[in-house]
Chains A and B, each alone.
Chain A
């Protein structure tokens, strides 16, 4: 009897991993697992944690990947990376030779170091270059409406693939900050490995070279001196609940679209207005049919960058996205038509019809203390008399301590 033996190599594992990543990136209701592969990236994790100064539980996944990188050189790239697999496949079929790229310096680790250090001083400079973010952004564009700007948003991941066709292995080998970060970890393995093993051979002293120092210095400088207020205060549109202040949001958001794909009522859309290039591809709330459910905090759970801070469903009534505004001229009750839809839809008791004293022509009004801008009244209003307005970042900021 012949024994059937399965031999799995790194390539097979990476294929499975890639397929899984694609599956989780597709716009189905994956809940907390939406775009789960983003949590594997220690580059996003470090940028986010250093900028946002807060940790969430799922960051442990990226920490594990980072720790592994001290023991196995670029473990994630070899075994798991869903971007590396297609990139390598393209490199293999490329008619161009990689030889003339030998002169090109390996700048991946410097990109990683600059970005992470600058994140610590407030501006995650190169967080958008994370390959997993680019990969997921591509799938988010697929799920939305195809508009011109949306098509532009599509190009990130194909661009990576094209890069590998003309310059085989350029991205993975020399540019990718996720790989670079793992290289840094491998450089520094002598600090970590002896703690776990007595194998003296594997340890070697690490000296922080001039280039580390320069890139770290550059990062600090970037964080301090680059203009942080890239976007004016008080976004011109409504952000998802729990979003950080607008200037931080535009730099921290990795445009992966996890929030957009996970939203159960599909009210999040990619911002594709060409006039707001700093906000390009970031999530925008548009109340067309659905509203922001009172018990839902999924977008904050799946956000790997922390641009949408994690909040509990119980706190949701205090998290302000916007404010309802009623045009009483349009309101049916101005004409005594039968309607109480806004009143019934409001889950926060922020909407009243009449004060109880005047009887016949009771009109709706909003309690600004209680309104969170969830949009329920706006979507249900039959004459579309209620609009949601974004609130100033200053007013929003008072929920963060």
Chain B
């Protein structure tokens, strides 16, 4: 064998051996998994229980449709049902309608617009919600066309006006505290107020409590979602500030409202909070109020900002999300991104924030409008109960779009119309003819695509 022959072969052999050694190398990584944040359970229970004696409860009314919760969804539902000819009662725990929209000071009516199939951005929220927005605009009490910001007192007034015009029997200052069930059929709701415990019986009950209190009482299945809870406040005398840019970092004057001298200030708040834990809500309420007060004092102590004052903190905690119904159909993010058409569509809502879909960020200006099916408002087992507002059935990825005022107005309108049809015909809520429902909704001004 020649020398160079040997050298070449030695090179090849050496290469092969080094390859063999090297091939054991693979990406190896250290695992450093973090513990997930535990979800806080209901705090402060003693563990003891006592038995409540049975008693006779007076029946306040027997009606066709009973709407629990006077937020955007409940108000729209009650107006829709009453206009469709059903006798309707509306029960609200506070002294005003509009819920978080007005009392919670979450003033923007979000998701009024979305992109249609021809890629044009247009208004999608019509019907009773659209009418409310229009009336506020006519009063000069809303700013901006897309996602208008309204004045809370004007909104309370307009909602009261629409409720009394449509003939709804209004009950303020009353809490729903239990469901009256016969097997799996809901017959009415217990309410608690200064006048004591009473019952309202109804053919159809619409759960617009936002937290899904009624389906919780009825024993339905649901998911619990903890989310940020905030507390909105308003600042006055904003127009007396000469140079708003002089405000130091970390302080904020919020965003304008239709009232010139008043701004509203949002709060992200603490994350992962239980919105149906009353002790938690109480603690947050006090902490937040103190924070807002302190912050306002810091603003007032800044030269040039002395006249700013705290108009009010919201009368309602900003619970963004709590219970999510496990209903007949779970609306998915994909449905909202693909113009999914449902045969039982009850309304269309729009988009206000960026969503991640299939690895791509889709901005609100590009997002399509999306249909909401009637089935998403129906619980699986309880009969004659319809759910509207932020607690209907959807997947969590969709929460930003389902929890906002616009969507609540749309689902409320759909639920109210369906309740009216079911009660008038004496059928179960589940059996409502979708064609009939859609024609009633269209008659009432809703847009169904």
* A residues whose Cβ falls under 8 Å from a Cβ of B: 49-50, 52-55, 117, 120, 207-210, 212-213, 216, 220, 242, 264-265, 289-291, 293, 296, 309-311, 315, 318-319, 333-341, 343-345, 349, 353-354, 356, 359-362, 369-370, 376, 379-382, 399-401
The answer to whether B5 touches A216, judged by C-beta atoms less than 8 angstroms apart, is no
Are A359 and B270 CB-contacts (below 8 A) given A50-B15, A382-B363?
Answer: yes
Contact with A along B1-30 (1 / 0, CB 8 A): 010110111010001001101110111111
Contacts of A291 in B (CB 8 A): 356, 359-361
| Cβ-defined partner of A336 (8 Å) among B26, B36, B265, B287 | B265
The answer to whether B295 touches A360, judged by C-beta atoms less than 8 angstroms apart, is yes
Contact with A along B333-375 (1 / 0, CB 8 A): 0000000000000000000011110111101000000000000
Please give me the residue from chain B that is nearest to A334 by CB atom: B252
The answer to whether A360 touches B271, judged by C-beta atoms less than 8 angstroms apart, is no
CB distance from B360 to the nearest CB of A (A): 4
Most buried by B among A370, A379, A381: A379
Are A336 and B29 CB-contacts (below 8 A) given A265-B360, A353-B268, A379-B361?
Answer: no
Provide the bound-state CA to CA distance between A117 and B7, in Å: 13
Please give me the residue from chain A that is nearest to B396 by CB atom: A344
Contacts of B355 in A (CB 8 A): 380
Contacts of B271 in A (CB 8 A): 340, 343, 353-354, 356, 362
Contacts of A337 in B (CB 8 A): 255, 266
Please give me the residue from chain A that is nearest to B110 by CB atom: A338
Are A359 and B360 CB-contacts (below 8 A) given A212-B8, A334-B252?
Answer: no
| Cβ-defined partner of A360 (8 Å) among B22, B26, B267, B356 | B267
Cβ < 8 Å to A, chain B residues 19-55 = 19, 21-23, 25-32, 34, 36
Q: Does B69 contact A (CB under 8 A)?
A: no
Contacts of B4 in A (CB 8 A): 208-210, 212-213
Are A120 and B360 CB-contacts (below 8 A) given A212-B8, A336-B252, A343-B271?
Answer: no
Known: A120-B19, A337-B266. 7 other contacts (CB 8 A): A213-B8, A293-B359, A340-B228, A359-B269, A360-B295, A362-B271, A370-B34
The answer to whether B361 touches A290, judged by C-beta atoms less than 8 angstroms apart, is yes
Contacts of A319 in B (CB 8 A): 27, 29
Q: Does B288 contact A (CB under 8 A)?
A: yes
Contact with A along B267-281 (1 / 0, CB 8 A): 111111000000000
The answer to whether B34 touches A349, judged by C-beta atoms less than 8 angstroms apart, is yes
State the majority secondary structure of interface residues on B.
mixed
Provide the bound-state CA to CA distance between A339 and B264, in Å: 16
Q: Does B312 contact A (CB under 8 A)?
A: no
Q: Does B256 contact A (CB under 8 A)?
A: no
The answer to whether B19 touches A50, judged by C-beta atoms less than 8 angstroms apart, is yes
Contacts of A360 in B (CB 8 A): 230-231, 267-269, 288, 291-292, 295
Contacts of B5 in A (CB 8 A): 207-208
The answer to whether B360 touches A290, judged by C-beta atoms less than 8 angstroms apart, is yes
* B residues whose Cβ falls under 8 Å from a Cβ of A: 2, 4-5, 7-9, 11, 15, 18-19, 21-23, 25-32, 34, 36, 228, 230-231, 250, 252, 254-255, 265-272, 284, 287-288, 291-292, 295, 353-356, 358-361, 363, 400
The answer to whether A362 touches B270, judged by C-beta atoms less than 8 angstroms apart, is yes
The answer to whether A339 touches B353, judged by C-beta atoms less than 8 angstroms apart, is yes
Contacts of A242 in B (CB 8 A): 27
Please give me the residue from chain A that is nearest to B254 by CB atom: A336
Residue pairs across A and B with Cβ atoms less than 8 A apart, 19 shown, are A49-B23, A53-B21, A54-B23, A55-B23, A210-B4, A212-B4, A213-B7, A213-B8, A216-B11, A220-B11, A290-B360, A310-B27, A334-B252, A339-B353, A341-B353, A344-B356, A353-B271, A359-B288, A401-B25
Contacts of B265 in A (CB 8 A): 336
Please give me the residue from chain A that is nearest to B227 by CB atom: A340
The answer to whether B267 touches A359, judged by C-beta atoms less than 8 angstroms apart, is yes
| Cβ-defined partner of B360 (8 Å) among A289, A311, A354 | A289
Contacts of A380 in B (CB 8 A): 354-356, 361
Provide the bound-state CA to CA distance between A311 and B29, in Å: 10
The answer to whether A318 touches B23, judged by C-beta atoms less than 8 angstroms apart, is no
| Cβ-defined partner of B359 (8 Å) among A120, A264, A382, A400 | A264
Contacts of A264 in B (CB 8 A): 358-359
The answer to whether B269 touches A362, judged by C-beta atoms less than 8 angstroms apart, is yes
Contacts of A216 in B (CB 8 A): 7-8, 11
The answer to whether B32 touches A369, judged by C-beta atoms less than 8 angstroms apart, is yes
Provide the bound-state CA to CA distance between A353 and B2, in Å: 73
Please give me the residue from chain A that is nearest to B294 by CB atom: A360
For the complex of A and B, 9 pairs with smallest distance between CB atoms = A53-B22, A318-B29, A208-B8, A265-B359, A379-B361, A213-B4, A290-B360, A380-B361, A336-B266
Provide the bound-state CA to CA distance between A360 and B290, in Å: 11
Please give me the residue from chain A that is nearest to B288 by CB atom: A359
CB distance from B234 to the nearest CB of A (A): 12
The answer to whether A400 touches B270, judged by C-beta atoms less than 8 angstroms apart, is no
| Cβ-defined partner of A117 (8 Å) among B11, B230, B268, B361 | B11
Most buried by A among B4, B18, B268, B363: B268
Contacts of A50 in B (CB 8 A): 15, 19
Contacts of A336 in B (CB 8 A): 252, 254, 265-268
Contacts of B269 in A (CB 8 A): 359-360, 362
Are A53 and B11 CB-contacts (below 8 A) given A208-B5, A359-B291?
Answer: no
